[in-house]
Structure 1
Amino acid sequence: MDYNKKIKVFWCLKMSNVLIQKYNVPGPRYTSYPTVPYWQEDTFSLEAWQQTLRQSFIESNASEGISLYIHLPFCESLCTFCGCHKKVTKRHEVEAPYIAAVLKEWSLYCELLEEKPIIREIHLGGGTPTFFSVTHLQQLIHGILDRAYVAEQHEFSFEGHPNSTSREHLQALYELGFRRVSFGVQDYSLKVQKAIHRIQPFENVANVTQWAREIGYDSISHDLVFGLPFQELQDVLFTIDQTNRLLPDRLAFYSYAHVPWIKGNGQRGFKDHDVPKDDEKRKLYEAGKQKLLDHGYIEIGMDHFALKTDPMYQSFLQGKLHRNFMGYTASKTQVMIGLGVSAISDSWYSFAQNEKVLEDYYARLENNEIPVFRGHVLTSEDLMIRQHILNLMCQFETSWDDPKHSFKELPQVLQQLEEMQQDDLLEIAEKDMRVTEQGKAFVRNVCMAFDLRMKRKIPDNQIFSMTI
């Protein structure tokens, strides 16, 4: 490397460290706006949720269809990095009553909506969806589809644990219409796997990836995580090199959210000082990102990468990428119904979350009640800010050229963002703004400037993970 290049690299690293120190603050990941801690539950009711859902369904079912997120919460062991709602058990007799409960919940929604929904998306998340037997997963999907139509351009996907996903799982779900699967990899370093209680040999991931390809899945995704306990730069680079041997169609490269004060003992299997922080953690991301780009992946939204052949890349180019409680999706539906314990639904005009305790979820269904226990009805201001944040998270840009997209606090928001523009993280024009390549790492901070609810009420305690 010549002298000028060395100077440039040194300057970039120094600038990166300065920016990290400036912008690394607690902040939401914006799978919704308002974020859950700012939901106004005093104005929410089950009746309000049902009313907005029916309204949105009538508006959009024929043109867009709906999405279903089905939460399957059971895991045989606890992964200590995980922030999801799960229930750890080795007793597989829990499967049948849970499937029956989810199908009852679905029947209550179908009765509420009155006409048959057109399903565009189904996503099975967890927990560990492949904890369930092939027979029970078939029973679940058949029970869902018996009461609905399937859109021509549909996307059915599921999360598979490489240690518990069999070829039979993959074949059965493929025959039910599933064409995308996401495998949780996290990291291939044994010391990191031991720390997060997720021992998972490369051979297991290679097997399920190869099976999915042979069966005919269109899109195979791997989830990687940076910032895990004991994780070093060599671990991240090794993991990505191993991943490149399998060449999944898309990748999620998530930042580990270390929030043990929220998640409790699940994230206390290691000390706080064992977790990479600040510039050390950012180096893991920057080096990993560069290696992904070198391997032909394109950065799509926040934390996501795809090959040019993957539908998500095409959706990004066409401006159709969407983000909701399922994460990024290649198409938008106005209605997303969450089924299962703790699942969150979105009617576009309101959010609703199911009971988080399994026994409470069962009890509500036994009383023939949709098991929603909290939510939020969006105001006109919420809807406007939500769209700006979606634009930024999905396209790295937003505009206010139409008066309907402007709001009275916009001048203050733009003034707050001037410093980020001076740091070359943003380009702000008269009627629009764009996040620069360097600024993509700080997109959560950009969105926070638009978050009017957070501005009006700063949390008393740290309830969000760090943005970087």
Structure 2
Amino acid sequence: MCQPLVQKYNIPGPRYTSYPTVPYWDNSSFSLKDWKQSVTTSFTESNETEGISLYIHLPYCESMCTFCGCNKRITKRHEVELPYLTSVLKEWELYLDILPKKVKVKEIHLGGGTPTFFSPENLKFLIKELLRKVNLAEAYQFSFEGHPNNTTKAHLEALQEVGFTRVSYGVQDYDAAVQKAINRIQPFNKVKEATKLAREIGYTSVSHDIIFGLPFQSIDAVKNTILKTKELMPDRIAFYSYAHVPWIKGNGQRGYHEADLPSAETKRAQYQLGKELLEEMGYVEIGMDHFALKTDLLYQSLEAKQLHRNFMGYTASKTKLMIGLGVSSISDSWYGFAQNTKSIEEYQELVNNGILPVFRGHLLNQEDLILRKHILNLMCHLQTEWQENDLHFTELPEVLERLTEMKNDGLLSITNNTLQITEKGRPFVRNICMAFDLRLQRNKPETRLFSMTV
């Protein structure tokens, strides 16, 4: 990759798991009443045809991983499990009360935190209770995030019994110095054992998360991690850049200095090497930072042009309504977003009092909806077009003008009302999306909000 391009385009920018991005939500015009209405509208339009998705945030971890930007609570007290799950089920009942028909569930994803902090029995209890009053979509997909150090055979079996077929393991890096810096000590054998167990039990998709740009991480460390991954050949790999945002995430990301992080040029070299190795191994790059074997559903959804991106990252299918349950979870009705309170105690108090625990949100206007489609197209399919009237917007000429320099640099092409990101431009997809982000363009931040794009 051309180093001057890295230097030129390495600026803070969103990862576009939503549009508008969270810092640009208009909370002043958001109300719980309007949010509920957007949920019922979306549900009425899509429940029968595609069903809904559920994301459940399980925030507890036994130790702090210093690279992590997720909402979590560090504790070794496992008596917190059942009271928290009871609160999640109460929140689910609050949503069921406002939905006009029986729910059809298409997707469930357990994230965190560390979902496998919870006992197999309690996780099984959670899912059984969630599904007690609903129907299942014909091709439903249930997945969870597992920590290789504590995902047991009992966890895998219990979740498979209630419909789970996919597990994602957080690997990050196998280098000892990197693992020490990020406080995530997990030998390769632990990952190997967890991957093997999942396959033996019958999971059809095993994913590994690998991060580049971590403190003290060399190019050789990335190479070694991917070569070790080759021994296990997970069905899909999330290979993404570490987001260093200590001003947002607090002390968790201050266990090392910024000088300990690889330079932007080194990060791109890490990415380029990793991409080449993964492609040699038979993986296909999906969107911005995912890779999948051709036998995996994520690749098949890309080929069928059904790939979707939301707050869970890339998914193999789209539902218009995604309900987030649990502390800090974000829900998406397509017409609006809502985020739950980030305090466990406040969350539990609200749901115990019969109140949806939402503390902020955004209702999309017509322009937002059009721009959201363009940004989703770019993030999922590396192209967008404006042939149809429903994808036209007033400031399109200004957006195209902003893209002129990137076009001249060979990052994209524009012909016949279609924008196509080139292979050269693929690492800069976030920068290209920023040209369409009118809320960002109209109100550029005076302080740093986002991680670097490169």
Distance 2:124 2:60 in 1: 17
- Give the deviation of 1:363 after TM superposition: 1.0
Alignment of 1:120 with 2:86, yes or no, is no
**Match of 2:289?**
303
- Give the deviation of 1:129 after TM superposition: 0.2
Which of these residues, 440, 444, 449, is aligned with residue 458 of structure 1?
444
Unaligned stretches of 5+ in structure 2? Answer: none
Alignment of 1:246 with 2:232, yes or no, is yes
* Amino acid corresponding to residue 97 of structure 2 in structure 1: E
Distance 1:210 1:198 in 2: 21
* Amino acid corresponding to residue 49 of structure 2 in structure 1: S
Distance 2:411 2:327 in 1: 40
Which of these residues, 353, 367, 371, is aligned with residue 381 of structure 1?
367
Distance 2:410 2:205 in 1: 35
What whole-Å deviation, never above 9, does each CA across 1:322-356 have from its counterpart, x for those lacking one? Answer: 00111111000000000000000001100000011
**Match of 1:61?**
47
- Give the deviation of 1:412 after TM superposition: 1.0
- Give the deviation of 1:47 after TM superposition: 0.4
**3-state SS in 1 of match to 2:210:** strand
Distance 2:171 2:264 in 1: 23
- Give the deviation of 1:132 after TM superposition: 0.2
- Aligned positions of 1:49-198 closer than 5 A: 49-198=35-184
- Give the deviation of 1:261 after TM superposition: 1.4
Alignment of 1:217 with 2:203, yes or no, is yes
CA contact (8 A) 2:40 2:100 kept: no
Unaligned stretches of 5+ in structure 1? Answer: 1-12
Distance 1:268 1:354 in 2: 26
**3-state SS in 1 of match to 2:49:** helix
Distance 2:97 2:402 in 1: 48
**Match of 2:343?**
357
Which of these residues, 330, 338, 343, is aligned with residue 316 of structure 2?
330
CA contact (8 A) 2:90 2:352 kept: no
* Amino acid corresponding to residue 230 of structure 1 in structure 2: F
Distance 1:107 1:263 in 2: 31
What whole-Å deviation, never above 9, does each CA across 1:92-111 have from its counterpart, x for those lacking one? Answer: 00001001000000011101
**3-state SS in 2 of match to 1:407:** coil
Which of these residues, 407, 422, 433, is aligned with residue 436 of structure 1?
422
**3-state SS in 1 of match to 2:48:** helix
* Amino acid corresponding to residue 269 of structure 2 in structure 1: K
TM-score by length of 1: 0.96
Distance 2:135 2:8 in 1: 50
The runs of 4+ residues in structure 1 deviating greater than 2 Å are none
Which of these residues, 231, 235, 245, is aligned with residue 259 of structure 1?
245
**Match of 1:22?**
8
- Give the deviation of 1:385 after TM superposition: 0.0
Distance 1:310 1:296 in 2: 12
- Give the deviation of 1:116 after TM superposition: 1.4
**Match of 1:397?**
383
Alignment of 1:370 with 2:356, yes or no, is yes
What is the Cα-based RMSD across aligned positions, in Å?
0.7
What whole-Å deviation, never above 9, does each CA across 1:91-141 have from its counterpart, x for those lacking one? Answer: 000001001000000011101113211000000000000000011001100
* Amino acid corresponding to residue 382 of structure 2 in structure 1: F
- Give the deviation of 1:364 after TM superposition: 0.6
CA contact (8 A) 2:350 2:357 kept: yes
Alignment of 1:343 with 2:329, yes or no, is yes
Distance 2:247 2:315 in 1: 30
* Amino acid corresponding to residue 324 of structure 2 in structure 1: G
- Give the deviation of 1:292 after TM superposition: 0.7
- Give the deviation of 1:430 after TM superposition: 2.8
Which of these residues, 257, 272, 275, is aligned with residue 286 of structure 1?
272
Distance 2:246 2:355 in 1: 33
What whole-Å deviation, never above 9, does each CA across 1:390-416 have from its counterpart, x for those lacking one? Answer: 000000000000121111111111111
**Which moves more between the two structures, 245-254 or 272-281?**
272-281
**3-state SS in 2 of match to 1:234:** helix
Distance 1:64 1:150 in 2: 10
* Amino acid corresponding to residue 64 of structure 1 in structure 2: E
Which of these residues, 410, 414, 417, is aligned with residue 400 of structure 2?
414
**Match of 1:10?**
none
**Which moves more between the two structures, 259-268 or 239-248?**
259-268
**3-state SS in 1 of match to 2:403:** helix
CA contact (8 A) 2:58 2:326 kept: yes
* Amino acid corresponding to residue 152 of structure 1 in structure 2: E
TM-score by length of 2: 0.99
**3-state SS in 2 of match to 1:220:** strand
**Match of 1:39?**
25
CA contact (8 A) 2:166 2:204 kept: yes
Distance 1:90 1:110 in 2: 33
**3-state SS in 2 of match to 1:200:** coil
- Give the deviation of 1:263 after TM superposition: 1.1
Distance 2:399 2:351 in 1: 44
